[in-house]
Amino acid sequence: MRTQVVTIHDVARAAGVSPATVSRVFNGGRVTPERALSVQQAAAALGFAPNRVARSLRKQRSSVIALIIPDIENPFFTSLARGVEDAAQRTSLSVVLCNSDEDTDKERRYLEVALGEQMAGVIVAAASQDETDLAPLIARGVPVVAVDRRPHAAEVDAVQVDNQHGGEVATRHLLRAGYRRIACITGPRGASTSEERLAGYRTALYSAGDAAPAGDAYVRHADFRVEGGRAAMRELLALPEPPDAVFVANNLMTIGVLDALREVGRTPPGVGVLSFGDVPWASLLRPSLTAVELPSYELGRTAADLLLQRIEGKPSPLQTVVLRTRLQVRESTAGP
């Protein structure tokens, strides 16, 4: 077991050139073809692999970018991750994924790693609108793009979907389908996505006038996870006058909602169910599920493109890109 490392010096000696020349060969500097060839041969013969750590130290920048997401078990984020990867694919940058688990401590740790490892850039779906602190990265000039969720006070590029509009369209659809006691199960307080989707729900209800229900009696905050959705739905079902439809602010919670409904023998569209974000493998569900479709892949792709531009030093002003959602009507909201 050889632990010995082959360095640029070893290659240089073997090829009869200077270390600088070897470096040039590996970095596209001007070198005569024959010299370049002999360097490559020497490198291959010795099994040379460049030390990226040394390179990063010298260049003050590594060639990896971090993607920090709050829930690796949510297909929405894994799809987003695919978008990021595919965009980075065509560059020399590698993407590493970090799962913050909706935990601001874990997230902070990863943010520190990204900073300390001098990563070329960071894409982050923030665990919290308030606590996620991007300032150290920004202070050091590391390009950062916020995706899906937007940390409050951060001066960063951002890519999101039209949460409020999507929530409004969804709720209006429910109203038009004839539902009258429409509930909303949204995410944690303080998450931009939670608040905006809820705002859309309220707007639709208010503008419907007399159809507007009793304040927030039908509003629940949960945790964007299956269990949270299930618990919130159980609560709503236990109300003296349970809702006849529910707008659920994310895919995972919708699964919990459907489970809770099944427990008590109710099924859509008797109780209308509309999910913000497609449930994975929804094709297997009967009745099929009406959902606000989110361009998860494109979200990642767009964020990565933006980041790559910043890394290349493009100086355009900060921008926020908003991607459209689209309501896909199916059976679960056919009417009470």
Partner DNA sequence: CTGAAAGCGCTAACAG
Partner DNA sequence: CTGTTAGCGCTTTCAG
Contacting positions for DNA (CB under 7 A): 5, 7-9, 16-21, 23-24, 26-27, 29-32, 35, 48, 50-51, 54-55, 57-60
Q: Which does 18 bind (CB under 5 to 8 A by kind): a copy of itself, DNA, none?
A: DNA
Query: Among residues 155, 94, 157, 91, which one has the least CA distance to residue 123?
Result: 157
Smallest distance from a copy of itself to CB 33, Å: 25
Does the protein bind a copy of itself through residue 284 (CB under 8 A)? yes
DSSP code per residue over 121-177:
EEEE--S-TTT---HHHHHTT--EEEESS--TT---EEEEE-HHHHHHHHHHHHHHT
Does the protein bind a copy of itself through residue 287 (CB under 8 A)? no
- Write the Ramachandran bin of 60: left for phi over 0, alpha for psi from -120 to 50, otherwise beta: left
Q: Which does 320 bind (CB under 5 to 8 A by kind): DNA, a copy of itself, none?
A: none
- Residues of span 155-214 touching a copy of itself by CB under 8 A: none
Q: 290: which 2 tokens?
A: 């009406």
Smallest distance from DNA to CB 42, Å: 12
Does the protein bind a copy of itself through residue 108 (CB under 8 A)? no
- Which stretch, 16-24, 28-36, 64-72, 308-316, contacts a copy of itself (CB under 8 A)? 64-72
Checking DSSP bridges between strand 219-221 and strand 94-99, what pairing results, if any?
unpaired
Q: 132: which 2 tokens?
A: 């996620």
| Cα–Cα distance for residue pair 100/105, rounded to 1 Å | 8
DSSP code per residue over 266-329:
--TTTSEEEEESPPTTGGG-SS--EEEE--HHHHHHHHHHHHHHHHTT--PPP-EEEEPPEEE-
Nearest residue (CB) to a copy of itself, 157 versus 168: 157
Judged by CB under 8 A, the residue of 9, 140, 324, 326 near a copy of itself is 140
- Residues of span 238-267 touching a copy of itself by CB under 8 A: 255, 258-259, 262
Q: Which does 176 bind (CB under 5 to 8 A by kind): DNA, a copy of itself, none?
A: none
Structural Rg of the chain based on CA atoms: 25
As a residue count, the chain comes to: 336
Q: Which helix (H) or strand (E) holds 206?
A: helix 192-207
Query: Among residues 308, 332, 255, which one has the least CA distance to residue 76?
Result: 255
- Write the Ramachandran bin of 117: left for phi over 0, alpha for psi from -120 to 50, otherwise beta: alpha
Q: Kindly write out the interface string for residues 86-105 of this chain, putting x where it contacts a copy of itself by CB under 8 A and - elsewhere.
A: --------xxxxxx-x----
Does the protein bind a copy of itself through residue 288 (CB under 8 A)? no
| Cα–Cα distance for residue pair 179/269, rounded to 1 Å | 10
Smallest distance from DNA to CB 326, Å: 45
Q: Which does 317 bind (CB under 5 to 8 A by kind): a copy of itself, DNA, none?
A: none
- The residues binding a copy of itself (CB under 8 A) are 1-3, 5, 47, 49-54, 56-57, 60, 62, 64, 66, 72-73, 75, 78-79, 81-82, 85, 94-99, 101, 109-110, 112-113, 115-118, 136, 138-141, 226, 255, 258-259, 262, 279-281, 283-286
